[in-house]
Amino acid sequence: MRGRHAPGRGRRWLPWVAGGCLLMVGLAVLACALVIGALAGLAIHFANFHEAQSTLTRTLDVTGTPRIVVDGQAGDVTVVAGPAGKVTVEATRRARAESADIASHAAQNIAVDIQQSGATVTVRARGGGDTGAGRSSAVDLTITAPARSNLDLHADTGDVSVSDVAGMLNITVGAGNVRLTGATLAGASSVDVGTGDVMLGGQLAPGAALHVSVDSGDVDVTLPLAAAVSLDAATAQGEVRVPSWPVPVARDGAGASARGQTAVNPNSMLIIRVDTGNIGVSAG
């Protein structure tokens, strides 16, 4: 009859569609299996890696107020106060590789250069970081210096800690935290951090000017209640708190600032600049 079709003729494409869908599902399952297998293989590969370390220690005689210069690539830098007249450098070289022998050899061969010129001690530990294929290395430096020392510390990646040292401090960190405990900052001191937090506990010597700059991270400063400081703190995105002194805080869009004095006659200066992060200045 005109206008009528044989039953099922319009559905002949269904098997093709069903077959195509099954093929796509199969390919997706195969791809997932390959990815899971590759990830499992990498996990097993890296789980079998070994770590090793080698320690290098050197003690130098110094006179007067020494200047300690550190240039580190990957690893933590710790400076603690010790006896006058001596600077001790302990370098812990760490390496990670696919076998214990390779890791041990790599750790022992990380270059650490310790030089002295008069009262200046320079430590360079540029070997470190991710060397590819799961291998990595780092150098942790622990320096014992006289309580009165000037510090110039640089670390590409790693935390920097200074305890109970008085002097001019200049610290630069690419990625890592900075912690100062019991420090007395003198002269033109600075802390410059790319990504990380700054925790400063100590005091500013009369005439000192401390400049703290952070791209991304929080700054927390604790000073004596009797500190006589001229404060200039600002963050582009974040909050500013100054709970211990009558320093006015102003909001500015997403950021805030605080400018004022902690005493009638300030004898030191604290400048803080943060791009993204909070600022706190309090007594403790």
Q: Could you tell me which residues come within 8 angstroms of residue 197 by beta carbon, excluding any fewer than 6 positions away? A: 177, 178, 214, 217, 218, 219, 220, 277
Cβ atoms of 131 and 77 closer than 8 Å: no
Quick check: 238 and 276 in contact, CB under 8 A? yes
Task: Please tell me the predicted confidence (pLDDT) of residue 129.
Answer: 60
Quick: pLDDT tens for 247-273. Answer: 999 999 999 999 999 999 999 999 999
Residues 211-236: pLDDT tens digits?
999 999 999 999 999 999 999 999 99
Note the pTM of the prediction, 2 decimals.
0.82
> What value, to the nearest 5°, has the Cα angle with vertex 132 and ends 126 and 137?
40
Per-residue pLDDT for 70 more than 90? yes
pLDDT of residue 220: 98
Mark out the alpha helices in the chain (DSSP H runs).
14-47, 100-108
For residue 163, what pLDDT is reported? 98
For the segment 152-181, the average pLDDT, to the nearest whole number, is 98
pLDDT computed for residue 135 by the predictor:
73
Mean pLDDT, the chain, rounded, equals: 88
pLDDT tens digits along 31-40: 665 656 554 4
CA separation (Å) from 13 to 5, 21, 70?
Answer: 15, 13, 74
pLDDT bracket for residue 43 (50, 70, 90): very low
Tens-place pLDDT, residues 89-126: 999 999 888 788 888 877 888 989 999 999 999 999 97
- 280 half-sphere exposure, CB direction, 13 A CA radius: 13
> Exposed (0-12), middle (13-18) or buried (19+): which is 80, by Cβ within 10 Å?
middle
What is the torsion angle, in degrees rounded to the nearest 10, for the CA atoms of residue 69, residue 54, residue 175 and residue 270? -40
Cα 183 from Cα 204, distance rounded (Å): 8
The mean-pLDDT minimum among 30-44, 45-59, 266-280 falls in 30-44
Q: What is the pLDDT of residue 12?
A: 61
Residue pointed to by tokens 């640089």: 154
Q: Cα(94)–Cα(96) distance, rounded to whole angstroms?
A: 7
